[in-house]
Structure 1
């Protein structure tokens, strides 16, 4: 772990420290990413910044964002969470991606104290037991692992506000965060909007089942029922997404799932995420629902399981659970076994890529 004190050091001093660090040959990639962007952002001559998209639905692509876009997004977060000078914040997500970059921008603008830890599925391993943080952006996977590990679960209690992003929040994690005193928010956003444009409170008295947009954001649906975003501060054009949503009010929406994950099986449309939600609390291994080509149905529903193949007894119990929880249209025709799901840097499962690494298949009848 190392700290960058934006509250006590000038931009010139931090840039000098960054250049000294970058001159070293023994920096790890995560450290180099942090110092490289910090130095670049504090250099006022730089007005555009290149950022890689997450690659959760395809190959990551490089896009350019302006200094003004980053600062407007950071200011919205600073104001919403009332971040104050000298607040302690945590950077445990990649500075090579928009989430990590924005945490550096927020820290610079609000003069926060930023603690940086190695990238890990459980970043709490790199934090001292009594160390407290006012604000911590994490992926759902990181929070889940931190709460599930008995050696780090108490460290999670030292966070005041948690901002989850970069992935979906499972039913199991949702139930876990109800036990936290920290305020936990789930963010909706993308690289193109320089981080989140909407937030959902997951726990406490003000918990809500929907996302609420930040100021100066307009939302609408396209012909696929996918979210369209008008955010003049980020883009002159309407930003199209592949997220199927239900709009509840001019600034509130419920996330349904990805258009990419809609399965058309014999003319019946099935949303993968809706089926997964019915099973999350009952399966002890990671899984996802997908559709693959089928001559008769066009697409057939399958379930991918991150585990070794089941024996006869396990398969019998598994089929009984599926029959109990799912409709006949949702019931998978096949289960495929994958040793390890492929993921992006932020922990999003790459479904198509993962299916290429299937080790066994069993028909479910």
Structure 2
């Protein structure tokens, strides 16, 4: 495939490609294409070549879009990293993805330097899209651009490697191919529809597929993407009106805040709210019906380049809790432990196959455990009725808080690393705002008397903020089953 942004610039050069809502600045397709050409040329001057792994540690801003499309133009595989992760967490991902260059900005420079220094014997080069303050950081715009020949991507080439977390807490790099991304873009538009003046608002992090996919689809659809660095309900509502937004991607927490901050119709041009990241409550969906919010509840994964199944607003209203029907080309089935199909109405593990499904993880063992002849074992439990699907839980103990995945084992390891902690158990408990919140039972070491505030500080130095337990209770022993495993039901009973 040729460079999609360059192709779009040849077709509709004067159309608006990008709007920075934080600064009310606009880029035409031609302007963005020229900026990407300069960025790609400067990265080439610094040694980035086809086949390299280009890491990004950038907030949701136009500079990130320039780097994303510069990677496409150069033929470098994009490795988007979360700006909320600690340097230690980043270092693990940088090593596992074999990142060859890391791009940061002024807000992430310190973490980028610390993470790349810890990632291996030879520090990974760090490039900033802003002025560089640290000695080991190169300012991108101070280098003259080389001439770049756009890469001709094969469909099965790995376009990007986002990370997800498994139940062990070990970050898993997901190999998403060009075929995966294109199939997802086509199947999504078949379900959601498309306006000629489509304007998609993005206030999600660009290391999540929920935030990244609208950016990747922008030149394919010929739509405008409106970026906001972080979610503020009042500001987002104002963006919808100012820029005639037609579509957006939200998680239940942000949608609830948006409803709280507004009255009546959120925006007359808004036709699609793609709602994912966590299950939506019946109360939230009822509020959407009352306010005429066109919500499309969706079920998706990083491993499927976004959506797997998506409900229309009518399906969401008539079948409470459904995530709808599988997307075009996507096969979704309910299976028992032996891999046999379960009949309608009976629960089992959801297994998905089709062209959107990743060929696997960076780790061969993780790939073998999850991917098989029948497709990807999602780890989600659900059922189907009349062609519609519901997701009711997990086969493991993954916590989903505010759309972010948290592996309990990773939090337990951080707590146990504190000198005053003998044992710990971590679960997700219901939370009105976040869907779930991280909660922990902690057993102090004999003679120790740790404070919850001290454990909070300890965890924040090792974990992203959303992984830090919001509730901590001290106990004499962790409830366990006869076989010695943590009795998670009993743990939850002790955590309000």
CA contact (8 A) 1:53 1:60 kept: yes
Cα offset for 1:363?
A: 5.5
Give the secondary structure class of the aligned counterpart of 1:354: coil
Give the TM-score taking structure 2 as reference length.
0.50
Match of 2:353 among 204, 218, 230: 230
Q: 1:186 aligns to what? A: 297
Please show how residues 194-213 of structure 1 align to structure 2 within 5 Å: 194-202=305-313, 207-209=318-320, 210=322, 211-213=324-326
Unaligned runs of 5+ in 1: 263-271, 295-307, 309-337
In structure 2, the CA distance between the partners of 1:364 and 1:9, relative to structure 1 (3 Å rule), is closer
**2:227 matched to 1:112?**
no
- Per-residue CA deviation, residues 21-45 of structure 1 (Å, 9 max, x unaligned), is 797xxx9632243322133345651
Segment drifting more, 65-74 vs 76-85? 76-85
Judged with a 3 Å threshold, the aligned counterparts in structure 2 of structure 1 residues 252 and 14 are, in CA distance, closer, same or farther, namely same
**Deviation of 1:84 (Å):** 3.4
Change (3 A) 1:21 1:149: farther
**Alignment pair present for 1:244 and 2:358:** no
Shift in CA distance, 291/117, structure 1 to aligned 2, threshold 3 Å = closer
Report the CA distance shift for 1:162/1:223 in structure 2 as closer, same or farther (over 3 A): same
How far the C-alpha of 1:189 sits from its partner, in A, is 1.1
**Quick check: 1:202–1:208 contact (8 Å CA) kept in 2?**
no
Give SS of 1:198's match.
Answer: strand
Per the TM alignment, residue 198 of structure 1 is displaced from its structure 2 partner at its CA by 0.4
Aligned match for 2:159, one of 38, 45, 49: 49
Q: Cα offset for 1:5?
A: 7.8
Return the offset for 1:293. Answer: 11
Q: Residue in 2 aligned with 1:253? A: 389
Distance 1:289 1:99, change over 3 A: closer
> 1:56 and 1:119 mapped to 2: Cα distance?
26
Q: How far 1:105 sits from its partner (Å)?
A: 2.2
> Which of the two has greater strand per residue?
1
Change (3 A) 1:84 1:40: farther
The 1:284–1:146 alpha-carbon spacing in structure 2 relative to 1, beyond 3 Å, is: closer
Deviations 1:86-142 (Å, cap 9, x if unpaired)? 322212212222122211122110100111111225361662644321111112211
What is the CA distance between 1:364 and its match in structure 2? 8.7
Tell me what 1:358 maps to.
Answer: 472
1:97/1:364 Cα in 2 relative to 1: closer, same or farther (>3 Å)? closer
Alpha carbons of structure 1 residues 2 and 288: separation in structure 2 relative to 1, 3 Å: closer
Equivalent residue runs for 1:138-157 within 5 Å: 138-150=250-262, 155=266
CA distance in 2, matches of 1:364, 1:99: 31
Query: 1:55-87, CA deviations, whole angstroms, 9 ceiling, x for partnerless residues?
Result: 375343222211121011101112222213332
1:219 aligned residue: 332
Aligned residues of 1:146 and 1:156 also touching (Cα < 8 A): no
Partner of 1:35: 66
Distance 1:42 1:181, change over 3 A: farther
2:334–2:349 CA contact under 8 A, matched in 1: yes
Q: How far apart are the structure 1 equivalents of 2:275 and 2:237? A: 18
Give the corresponding residue for 1:75: 186
Stretches of structure 2 lacking an aligned partner (at least 5 in a row): 1-18, 43-56, 75-149, 338-347, 360-371, 399-426, 444-451, 476-492
Count of residue pairs the alignment pairs up: 296
User: TM-score when scaled to structure 1?
Assistant: 0.65
Aligned CA-pair RMSD = 4.4
2:31 matched to 1:17? Answer: no
CA–CA distance in structure 2, aligned partners of residues 83 and 257 of structure 1: 32
Deviations 1:281-308 (A, max 9, x none): xx689755989799xxxxxxxxxxxxx9
Partner of 1:311: none
Residue equivalent to 2:130: none
CA contact (8 A) 2:357 2:376 kept: no
Moved more, 39-48 or 82-91: 39-48
Give the CA deviation at 1:171. 3.1
Give SS of 1:133's match. Answer: coil
Contact 1:89 1:112 in 2 (8 A): yes
